[in-house]
Amino acid sequence: MSNPPVEDFATDFDHTDPRWVADPYPIWDDLRERCPVAHTNRYGGAWLPTRHADVTAIAHDTDHFTSRTVVVGNGRPTEEAPPAPIGVAPPITSDPPFHSHARRLLQPVFAPARVDALEPYVRELCGRLLDPFVGSSSIDASLDFAEHIPVAVISKMLGFPEEDGEIFRGFVHEILEAVDLPQEERFERFAPIEEYFVARIEEHQADPQDDLTTFLLNAEIGGQPLAPEHVFGSMVLLIVAGIDTTWSALGASIWHLAQHPEDLERLIAEPTLLPVAIEEFLRAYAPVTMARLVIEDLDFEGCPMRKDDWVLLSFPAANRDPEVFEDADKVIIDRAVNRHAAFGLGIHRCLGSNLARMELRVALEEWLARFGSFTLSNPEAVEWSQGQVRGPRVLPITLG
Amino acid sequence: MRVVIDSEKCQGHGRCFALAPELFESDDLGQGLVIGDGQVAPGQAQAAHLAEQNCPEYAISLVE
Ligand code: HEM
Ligand code: SF4
């Protein structure tokens, strides 16, 4: 099912439009010049800031913009979803002051030292995925490689079987990509997800483990154990937030290198440049766009925003703003000054950013150690995801 | 020259301790911390500037 084609992105934008899905950058660059806060009547009314300054201002303004739901859809969450400040998936759907409690709980789990301890596992996993392709002439960098990494890592952290990855990817699709379905149908699709998690929670209650699920079950806020909806919501969030995003960032990095042999050669010759290059891939191909809802009518930069209007908070568009980034439209793998917002801005800064960076670095190191030269098999065959997380879902690569 | 983090602005993006590990570290929650009194030794000026210029929240400043 698809929406009618967009007439003018300034007044009728739609992030599921095939032109946006194929190549959103010219659309945002045009809007930034001509109409920096675009509007659409679709989805019951939504706004799209494309300047870094406006994205920053809205991300920081939790008094006027709520995170109650962060995925734009046709309905509004008011009746079905637990109200702010907790929301369905704390902390991402929480507002202050509850947000900081829900976030603080998870912060130690994703702090650098804890993440570093997972590096050997990620390296072994990447080797296991890539070794069968050494000596072959092709691989799908998305289907055979990138999509398997974050899902295995978060399963391991939560203490779920590694082979359940396939199930999670289905969940993520249901939640993130099915934005143009009616609200009711989306809720129906949620039932098997709930069933799966409740089963894992019950297993862990009966037999506690040294993992993130047991950690959440034992966690307390203000001396009280977390509400069951909170535990469930946070688990769903970790699955949804960690999988598509990292998979997309890794896929986009490989997609870039497959088309830029000069960058590929340089990274192989100068491996210490890789972390700098990763920041540039994150800037230029930032995968994640979030949403906010307007809390009450307000005037933002001359735009009459109304209560319950969506704001599509495009960190990817902010990252292409020439006011903040020199040669914003060029991918410069040794860009030294790079204040990018790929992991968001303000209180919801991606909790998994240390983990995602480690996964990206290790995955690219292991890929480059095996494949010194590669190209896109067929640029036309690359398929990009639709929705608020952007990345290549099909990425056939010719090796050698 | 000294480096300073405005902890009200810091959201733990972690660019500072990645780019200038002699000057910054992470606390147990992943928030940025200045090591010691933040004094920048002569050889560390470039790292200090890089950290300041890469903090997404504009939380780092260099003071005399
Ligand atoms: C390259 C990969 C990733 C990108 C680009 C990314 C991006 C983002 C962004 C932009 C936000 C801000 C949301 C907002 O402002 O509403 C966010 C939040 C979040 N991310 Fe990530 N993410 C990535 C990977 C991960 C991973 C691997 C995990 C964990 C397993 C994770 C967990 C979270 C959580 C829990 C939040 C909510 C934080 C809060 O609300 O306080 N992310 N992410
Ligand atoms: S780079 Fe900035 S936001 Fe990130 S940890 Fe350092 S001071 Fe904090």
User: What's the pLDDT score for residue A216?
Assistant: 93
Instruction: Assess whether pLDDT exceeds 90 at residue A296.
Output: yes
3 state DSSP class of A145: helix
User: What's the pLDDT score for residue A90?
Assistant: 85
User: What's this model's pTM, rounded to 2 decimal places?
Assistant: 0.95
pLDDT cut 90: percent of chain A above it: 76
Q: How would residue A24 be classed by pLDDT, with cut points 50, 70 and 90?
A: very high
User: What's the pLDDT score for residue A240?
Assistant: 83
Q: How would residue A177 be classed by pLDDT, with cut points 50, 70 and 90?
A: low
Which pair of tokens denotes residue A215?
């950690």
Domain residue extents for chain A: 9-399
Do the chains contact at A336 and B50, CB–CB below 8 Å? yes
Chain A, chain B: beta-carbon pairs less than 8 Å apart: 55
Residue A340: list chain B partners with CB under 8 A.
56
Q: Quick one: which atom of ligand 2 is closest to the CA of B51?
A: 1
Summarize pLDDT for A135-156 with one digit per residue, the tens: 999 999 999 999 999 999 999 9
Ligand 1, residues A245, A283, A388, A389: which to mutate, most atoms within 8 A of Cβ? A245
> Which of B9, B11, B27, B60 has the most A C-beta neighbours within 10 Å, making it the best mutation to test the interface with A?
B11
Q: Which CATH superfamily is domain A9-399 in?
A: Cytochrome P450 (1.10.630.10)
Peptide bond before A392: cis, by omega within 30 degrees of 0? no
Query: In terms of C-beta distances under 8 Å and separation of at least 24 residues, what long-range contacts does A255-259 make, across chains too?
Result: A255/A141, A255/A285, A255/A376, A255/A382, A255/A392, A255/A395, A256/A281, A256/A284, A256/A285, A256/A331, A257/A374, A258/A141, A258/A374, A258/A375, A258/A376, A258/A397, A259/A375, A259/A376, A259/A379
Q: Quick one: which atom of ligand 2 is closest to the CA of B13?
A: 4
Mean pLDDT of A182-194: 73
Ligand 1 atom 3: residue of nearest CA: A245
Residue A234 CB burial class (10 angstroms; 0-12, 13-18, ≥19)? buried
Q: Was domain B2-63 assigned CATH 1.10.10.10?
A: no
Q: Among all ligands shown, which has an atom nearest to the Cα of B56?
A: 2
Instruction: Assess whether pLDDT exceeds 90 at residue A234.
Output: no
CA–CA gap between residue A318 and residue A25 (Å, rounded)? 11
User: What's the pLDDT score for residue A77?
Assistant: 64
Q: Among all ligands shown, which has an atom nearest to the Cα of B53?
A: 2
Pocket of ligand 2 (CB under 6 A): B 5, 10-16, 32, 55, 57, 59-60
Summarize pLDDT for A326-361 with one digit per residue, the tens: 999 999 999 999 999 999 999 999 999 999 999 999
Summarize pLDDT for A47-106 with one digit per residue, the tens: 999 999 999 999 999 999 999 888 888 877 655 555 555 667 889 988 999 899 989 999
User: What's the pLDDT score for residue B60?
Assistant: 98
User: What's the pLDDT score for residue A174?
Assistant: 72
